[in-house]
Amino acid sequence: MVHYTNKQVLFLNYPTGFPVVGEHLGLQTTEIDPVLEDNDILLRNLYVSADPYLRGRMRNVHDSYVPSFVLGKPFSSGGVSEVIQSRNPKFPVGAIVVGETNWEEYSHVTGARVAALGLQVVEGGARDSKIPLRYWVGALGMPSKTAYYSLKIIGQPKKGETIYISAASGAVGQIVGQLARLQGLRVIGSAGSDEKVDFLLNELKFDAAFNYKKGNILENLRRYAPKGIDIYFDNVGGEQLEAALEVMNLYGRVISCGAISVYNGQVPYGVRNLHHLIAKRITIRGFIVSDFEKQESANFRREVSEYFLNGDIVYKEDIVDLDDAPNAFVGLLKGERFGKVVIHIADP
Amino acid sequence: MVHYTNKQVLFLNYPTGFPVVGEHLGLQTTEIDPVLEDNDILLRNLYVSADPYLRGRMRNVHDSYVPSFVLGKPFSSGGVSEVIQSRNPKFPVGAIVVGETNWEEYSHVTGARVAALGLQVVEGGARDSKIPLRYWVGALGMPSKTAYYSLKIIGQPKKGETIYISAASGAVGQIVGQLARLQGLRVIGSAGSDEKVDFLLNELKFDAAFNYKKGNILENLRRYAPKGIDIYFDNVGGEQLEAALEVMNLYGRVISCGAISVYNGQVPYGVRNLHHLIAKRITIRGFIVSDFEKQESANFRREVSEYFLNGDIVYKEDIVDLDDAPNAFVGLLKGERFGKVVIHIADP
């Protein structure tokens, strides 16, 4: 029996507005002496993903598409881990696994929970790949799948069309923009700081980008999308959606991916121009990534891995240690982080 | 050369709110002495269709999906007519034709305009059919096509699901509800008077119906759709859309057909709960009937004609003479008419 010190990020209380570190989430260190039964495994966690949708799991409701966190228990999200003890023949010691992972150093997963967490061994010698292991929680994980699946299936992009992306420097937005650019679209993005706008223009090679906090969103869209927009990738909802509908072309598509503008208890913005849906035959569609997993995951892995290996896509990460995870998560919700937030727990 | 007295409904001026008879539209009688050139035809018009979307053609903008009316010229819409003079071999004298038709007694259509108006001879001896000729502007015309196409393609109804229809006693709503009922859905409708609600329950055999002017819309939906709604057929937009999104089930579909709540210059209602689109993976899609014409028109005609002939569908019409057409149209926009408004110009 081996003894472990286990640092965790715990869910402490239901927030109404932005969560506060120490009040709604916080660090705790415990000691564990795991005893494995048949089919159990012990994971040494390496990376977990911090994403805005996790705010929706901090609610005392259970009607949503993802289960809420449990008070007093750790946060969890997509992660990558190493098996360090095993009584499960499918998960040998040394294997690298991905799936739903607690925000903690070590996780004792019972055989019964392995499937529920979607844990899978990464095939093909993940450790030796040119693709860093932490990409499994971001660049090749849920956020990029979200981008790829929804752009393809809901967006149906065609060469020469124009796409507008809000929160474009985030985990999902940066992939959407680069995939669209590679398919010959005119790509316009907005973000919340001039530094992010520079990144969109200079690193991601967007055709245009603007700071949504400066000037009028609709005027900026009219300026940068003089031919209108065909696809709006909506990470925020509210006022940005309204502006996008205003300049949308016939048969426009809105990929409804996020509504961060209402996640933290702000008064929801009322969208007043939905009549454009009829006149312009617009489709707005919400989704979650698992809807398209079966249909598209193989395509995703093949295409996007190749883009990364060829250098066709770059990916900005914002890597923080577990000690800083609570503050980084709150900062993410406030739009203060820059790039995909990845929580580093241990080195591979 | 034959001389005709030609009564017309003219478009007089751009309204900002509800149109006013005598100010924005009105009757006029002129004399015409049509001289036909090669490929011209002269039509004696029988019926034209009065529909809410025509309000959108009374605007001084030309960015919309249907051409705006021209000041000083007649209204036009789907109609059925008899050819009474012809120099066009495809349109022999005596033929019954359907297509875009002026609101007037006689129309001299040049050969060049025949195609632009989509004029077609009704095949199969329309005069002898058990289906009345005026059905070509309503029950078997654009409004019913709108209902059939969009319910099938956007709604994708499945037996056992629940559909909610606003403005359910109107030209489109009554067909949507009956088609859905025939496909085994639970059908809930709302309308603006108790008389209309009775009609929905007793004549159209809806499972539930309520007067949206009485009580809270959301509470009524919760009461009559205890299992939530899977399809919302939206004829009005605004507050009704917001309520429908609130009770919508996972993978719900919103068929965005009309936004009569904003056609007449009212301050648009801001829809504040579009974040449900993500959590519930909802699709909202706007369309116009011509989008699906090629794909579905044969299916429509076969299936819906048979429903009528078998008595599986009933259809409430509100037939008015040309003299009353301006007032009836304004009444339609105000929700004061009951059933499909058909303008009767002459007997077949």
**Per this entry, what is the length of chain B?**
348
Q: A143-152, A323-332, B65-74, B196-205: which has the minimum mean pLDDT?
A: B65-74
CB A40 within 8 A of CB A119: no
Q: What is the pLDDT of residue B63?
A: 62
Least confident of A264-268, B31-35, B315-319: A264-268
- pLDDT above 60 for B125: no
Average pLDDT rounded to a whole number, residues A207-220:
96
- With CB atoms and an 8 Å threshold, state whether B271 touches A271: yes
Least confident of A129-143, A333-347, B99-113, B187-201: A129-143
| Residue among A258, A269, A278 minimizing CB distance to B258 | A278
Distance CA A171, CA A335 (A): 12
Contact of B300 with B149, CB cutoff 8 Å:
yes
- For residue A233, what are the β-bridge partners? A165, A255
Contacts of B309 (CB under 8 A, 6+ apart): B130, B131
Could you report the per-residue pLDDT of B138-186, keeping only the tens digit for each?
899 999 999 999 999 999 999 999 999 999 999 999 999 999 999 999 9
Higher pLDDT, A168 or B66: A168
Give residue A179's pLDDT.
98
Of A56, A241, A250, the CB nearest to B274: A241
What CATH number matches the domain at B4-138+316-344, 3.30.530.20, 3.90.180.10, 3.40.640.10, 1.20.1250.20? 3.90.180.10
What pLDDT is stored for residue A122 in this prediction?
86
Give the pLDDT mean for B313-337: 96
Model ipTM value: 0.88
- Domains A4-138+316-344 and A142-290 alike in fold: no
Q: What is the pLDDT of residues A21-55, one digit of tens each?
A: 999 999 999 999 999 999 999 999 999 999 998 99
Percent of chain B with pLDDT over 70: 95
Asked if B299 and B121 touch (Cβ cutoff 8 Å), the reply is no
What is the rounded distance in angstroms from the CA atom of residue A71 to the CA atom of residue B166?
42
pLDDT given at position B316: 94
Is the pLDDT at B258 greater than 90? The verdict is no
Q: Which two tokens stand for residue B56?
A: 């959108």
CB contact under 8 A, A283 and B286: yes
* Mean pLDDT confidence for A229-234: 98
Interface of A with B (CB under 8 A): 56, 64-65, 237, 241, 250, 256-259, 262, 268-288, 291
Provide the pLDDT for residue A8: 98
Residues A94, A100: contact at Cβ < 8 Å?
no
What pLDDT, on a 0 to 100 scale, did the predictor assign at position B267?
78
Residue of B nearest to A290 (CA): B281
pLDDT tens figures, A182-201:
999 999 999 999 999 999 99
pLDDT at residue A348 in the model? 87
| For residues A149-166, average pLDDT | 98
Joined tokens for residue B256: 């965005």
Place of tokens 């989704």: A287
The whole-number pLDDT of residue B127 equals 59
User: What does the pLDDT average to over A86-111?
Assistant: 96
Backbone torsions φ then ψ of A78, nearest 5 degrees = -60, 135
Q: Identify any residues that bridge with B231 across adjacent strands, giving them in sequence order.
A: B163, B253
A56 contacts in B (CB within 8 Å)?
Answer: 279
Structure tokens at A331: 């900062």
Q: Which residue of A has its CA nearest to B268?
A: A272
Phi first, then psi, for residue A319 (nearest 5°) are -90, 125
For A24-33, A253-262, B113-122, B249-258, which range has the lowest pLDDT when averaged over its residues? A253-262
| Residue A66 confidence (pLDDT) above 90 | no
Say what the pLDDT of residue B295 is.
Answer: 95
Cα separation, B155 vs B163, whole angstroms: 9
Q: Do B277 and A256 touch (CB under 8 A)?
A: yes
The count of other CB atoms within 10 Å of the CB of residue B33 is 9
Is the predicted pLDDT of residue A279 greater than 80, yes or no? yes
Q: Where are the domains of chain B?
A: 4-138+316-344, 142-290
Q: Which of A264, A200, A188, A191 is nearest to A232 (CA)?
A: A188
d(CA B301, CA B324): 30
Q: Mean pLDDT throughout A205-230?
A: 97
pLDDT of residue A267: 78
Classify each residue of A253-275 as buried b or exposed e, where b means 16 or more C-beta atoms within 10 Å of its C-beta. Answer: bbbbbbbbbbbbeeebbbbbbbb
SS (H, E, C) chain A: CCCEEEEEEEECCCCCCCCCECCCEEEEEEEECCCCCCCCEEEEEEEEECCHHHHHHCCCCCCCCCCCCCCCCECEEEEEEEEEEECCCCCCCCCEEEEEEECECEEEECHHHHHHCCCEECCCCHHHCCCCHHHHHCCCCHHHHHHHHHHHHHHCCCCCCEEEECCCCCCCHHHHHHHHHHCCCEEEEEECCHHHHHHHHHCCCCCEEEECCCCCHHHHHHHHCCCCEEEEEECCCCHHHHHHHHCEEEEEEEEECCCHHHHCCCCCCCECCCCHHHHCCCEEEECCHHHHHHHHHHHHHHHHHHHHHHCCCCCCEEEEEHHHHHHHHHHHHCCCCCCEEEEECCCC
Per-residue pLDDT for A340 more than 70? yes
**pLDDT the model gives residue B128:** 57
Cα-flanking dihedrals φ and ψ of residue A189, to 5°?
A: -130, 155
Distance from CA of B58 to the nearest CA of A (A): 14
Nearest by CB to residue B281, choosing from A274, A276, A288, is: A288
B31-57 pLDDT, tens digit each: 999 999 999 999 999 999 999 989 989
Per-residue pLDDT of B177-199, as tens digits, reads: 999 999 999 999 999 999 999 99
pLDDT at A258: 82
End-to-end CA distance of chain A: 23
pLDDT attached to residue B78: 94
> pLDDT at position A263, please?
64
Contacts A–B by Cβ distance under 8 A? 102
Contact by Cβ (8 Å): A298, A292:
no
Contact: A278, B284; criterion CB under 8 Å: no
In this prediction, residue A131 has a pLDDT band, given cuts at 50, 70 and 90, of confident
CATH 3.40.50.720 fits B142-290, yes or no: yes
Distance CA A309, CA A83 (A): 27
B286 and A280: CB-CB below 8 Å? yes
**Residue A67 confidence (pLDDT) above 90:** no
Distance from CA of A332 to the nearest CA of B (A): 19
From A258, A278, A285, residue closest to B286, measured CB to CB: A278
A-chain residues near B271 (CB < 8 A): 270-272, 274
As a whole number of angstroms, the distance between CA B191 and CA A129 comes to 63
Per-residue pLDDT at A96: 94
